[in-house]
Amino acid sequence: FLSSITGARVSSPGYSHYAASKAGILGFMRTAALEFAPWNVTLNAVEPGNILTEGVMEHQSQSFVDAQCAAVPLRRLGTPQDVAHAVRFLVSDEAAYITGQSIIVDGGQTLPEMSTAILPEAAR
């Protein structure tokens, strides 16, 4: 399943419809994981943060992208490949004992916030 950090983890004014649908995907996935577990079927999700897609590059200004990058601890937007790597792991044999879980792929965007006033200069 593919969800988003918006919904269950992050709130964005004006996006209640989007947030509800993405949070709903997670609830559905967890319930279905319980229902399918007796047949050894695993169900998981990936929750991407801000991803630099072709659509973002076409429809957003560079200043918008720069501002988004500044809000991510890793100081960059994710790529479609970042999301694909998480999906590939979840469908691999290495994830055979993982079910009903989600992997957040957001560069640290949903980590607890800390005031930049107390961060070392290198971390700002």
Sign of the CA dihedral running 109, 121, 114, 14 = negative
DSSP β-bridge partners for residue 103: 46
Give the C-alpha separation, 25 to 19, whole Å. Answer: 10
- To the query of whether residue 15 is one of the catalytic residues in this protein, the response is no
Kind plus residue range of the DSSP H or E element containing 24: helix 16-36
Beta carbons of 44 and 32 less than 8 angstroms apart: no
Which of 12, 18, 74, 119 is catalytic? The answer is 18
- For the annotated catalytic residues, the residue numbers are 18
